Amino acid sequence: MKRVLILLTMMVAFSNASFSQVPELDPVLISSSMQQKRIRETGRNIAILTKEDIKNIPANSLDELLRFVPGIEVQQRGPQGAQADLIIRGGTFQQVLVVIDGMRANEPLTGHFNAYIPILPEEIERIEVIKGAAAAIFGPDAVGGVIHVITKAFAQEYAAKNKTVFAALQTGQYNLFNGKIGFSASNEKSYLSIGLQQQKAKGMPLRGTTGYFDNDLGSISYSRKLNKQWRLMLRGAADKRDFNAQNFYTSFLSDTANETVSSTWQQLALTKTAEKSSFSLLVNARQLKDRYAFRPASIPNQNSTSLLNIDARNSVRLKWQQARLTTGIQVFSKQIRSNDRGNHQHLHTGIYANLQHQLLNRLFLTEGIRADWDQSYKWALIPQLNLAYIGSIATIRASISKGMRDADFTERYNNYNKKLVTGGSIGNPALEAERSLNMEVGADLFLDKPVQIHATLFQRNQASLIDWAPTVYADMPIRNNLIPTGVYALASNIANVKTRGAELDLSGDHGLGKGTRLKWKSGITRLRSTGKGNTLPSFYLSSHAKLLWNTNIRIMNKSGSISMGTVYKERKKQTANAINAAITSSYITMNLRIEKYLFQKKAGLMLQIDNLTDLAYSDLLGSIMPGRWMQFGGWMNLNK
């Protein structure tokens, strides 16, 4: 922490230094305030993954790709999109909000499905990662951070006629087959994209089974410029994932689970853009079916959920201080039908306002306020203030905000609709909503082309944190379907928790001569959490990394490229003797990809090695990740 403070002081000292050129490393984005704004003006630490980054990071799914983004901890239960939890700044996985083209995508059943993003990587224009709370803009769950996926259909500028056909095929150990094919076409008025993807493998041997997965995805998106001001965007997607789930949620020896998750997604955006104002009507719906069988002889849990989200917002430019005011209303409804959790509905609505303006020549402010009404916790007022002071090569920034997260259907009702439960996780209908106060201060240093340094200190004071805690039978709130000798974990408001941390993110883009370039991004996050009050031992809170180091690096020229992603974690050591499983106090793992370009980069051959050093590791206790995994394949991308 002291070293980061020293670095911040040095940045302040250099912030007004005079340099002849400021590098163009400050892209325009929309996530931080629902408005077009440059990163340096937001007052936030925001990471951007471009479409080139997404294409070249050595990963097979979006959750694996996010592992190598500085500041994001991905806790994988299974490989290649089977299942993973997303964590930012040490919060629980439900405290990260996934957004697709401005619309919340978190599934109401459980946060374990939030990484199921129903979009092919080739359809994505960029991914914006806001580190820290953004609840005043996006509403509940945006506590630890926001991952905003922006697709080409949503970002399309209709600049030129273009047709693209892409395809890829990959095979390897464990009977791996990965294949995808897609088509896109655009002109000055419209954009169309269609894609199909399948990922399947027999998987590595496990206890009495194999770590198989069979994931299928289909997606179609269309956008059209109706006239000079109005634009329409539509999307539909279907996603099915069938995978081995042994010890994904328990540490029981009898657990030989498998799970199938099927979801569909529909989205509409209607926007109007004028010289001094803009209007957007955004609607999305998601339906999900989950079938979980603890073992072949057991009656499976079957859950069906639906989410409907409507967001209408208007933005207008004001004469005062070059200001822009955005106001809006959001309504979302959640529903579940389940043989395990019962049948429930939930309604949430919020109104919000966001003002961004330039108070002084170099000082930018963003003030946000949101009033929410929720069926569980009723009324809540959520303010947020971001400041950014922009110097010639450095920006000093600060942010303070509140955050909210209500319990999901699993936390409230898990195992409540069963006749007999002999062990496992038990929901709690009496849970209070989590509330947090989030503060951060940081600086961004833009060196003379190509290096950037981002340093941040942050603190989150959280009340009524929800987590699963071991609880004896006598302390369970409802015992009519439990047994006195059962081993249970109850969803509880375990404590008031203070999390302090520091982030140091670095990136660079260097020319090495003879057409060769080196691009890299690296980040270190250090965390410390302390609890007050009724501090019970928890499951997910104790599993997050105390020290996290993510890196991705790529060397390329006209002939090919070499890319590597690395993750290093330090965390609490854990053991489960019943299943002979352990979590080590630290590990480092890396993926490697080597590509040879063909036909002027219209096609290529690739060799990818996941877990290059053949490390035996788990992110979550009992969920064993594969060892070294050799993969071979080829791709083509034809443009006309």
> pLDDT, tens digit, for every residue of 496-507?
889 999 999 999
Cα–Cα distance measured from residue 229 to residue 199, given in angstroms and rounded to the nearest whole number: 41
The answer, yes or no, to whether residue 564 has pLDDT greater than 80, is: yes
Quote the pLDDT of residue 24: 39
Structure tokens at 386: 């971001």
Q: Transcribe 48-67 into DSSP letters.
A: EEEHHHHHHSS-SSHHHHHT
Q: Using the predicted structure, report yes or no on whether residue 543 has a pLDDT greater than 90.
A: no
Residue 573 pLDDT: 92
Chain-centroid distance of CA 12 in Å reads: 31
Contact assessment for residue 32 and residue 53, using Cβ atoms and an 8 Å cutoff: no
237-265 CB burial, b ≥16 within 10 A, e <16: bebbbbbbbbbbbbbbeebbbbbbbbbbb
Say yes or no to pLDDT of 636 above 90.
Answer: yes
Q: What are phi and psi of 112, to 5 degrees?
A: -65, -20
Number of H helices, E strands in the chain: 7, 34
Residue 5 is predicted with a pLDDT of 42
Instruction: Give start and end residues of each alpha helix (H) in 304-388.
Output: none
Read off the DSSP letter of residue 99. Answer: E
Three-state secondary structure call for residue 322: helix
What DSSP element (H or E) covers 484?
strand 482-513
Instruction: Kindly indicate the confidence band of residue 91, based on its pLDDT and cuts at 50, 70 and 90.
Output: confident
Global confidence as pTM: 0.93
Q: Which residue, 638, 625, 629, 471, is CA-closest to 75?
A: 625
Question: Most confidently modeled of 16-25, 312-321, 596-605?
Answer: 596-605
Quote the longest CA-to-CA distance of the chain. 74
Q: Where are the alpha helices (H) located in 389-433, listed in sequence order?
A: 409-413
**Would you state the structure tokens that stand for residue 459, as one six-digit string?**
């603190």
pLDDT band at 316 (very low <50, low <70, confident <90, very high): very high
Q: How confident is the model at residue 161 (pLDDT cuts 50, 70, 90)?
A: confident
pLDDT band at 10 (very low <50, low <70, confident <90, very high): very low
Between CA 250 and CA 423 the distance in angstroms is: 10
Residue 248, both tokens? 């994904």
Query: What is the model's pLDDT at position 162?
Result: 87
**Each residue of 12-56: pLDDT tens digit?**
333 333 322 333 345 555 554 455 567 788 889 999 999 999 999
* Closest of 327, 300, 325, 303 to residue 409, by C-alpha: 303
Domains of the chain, first to last:
2-589 (2.40.170.20)
Averaged pLDDT, 602-626: 95
Picking from 155, 409, 417, 102, the residue whose alpha carbon sits closest to that of residue 284 is 102
Distance between start and end Cα atoms, the chain: 52
Summary mean pLDDT of the chain? 89
Tokens 């989150």 sit on residue: 460
> Which region among 18-27, 318-327, 417-426, 553-562 has the lowest average model confidence (pLDDT)?
18-27
Span 346-356, average pLDDT: 95
Which residue in 596, 590, 580 sits closest to 629, CA to CA?
A: 590
Closest CA to 468 of 438, 443, 431: 431
| Arithmetic mean of pLDDT, 422-448 | 91
C-alpha distances out from residue 249 to 112, 255, 622, Å? 10, 9, 9
* Amino acid at the residue 327: T
Q: Flag the least confident range among 202-206, 534-538, 561-565.
A: 534-538
Which pLDDT score is estimated for 448? Answer: 64
Pair 346, 330: CB distance under 8 Å: no
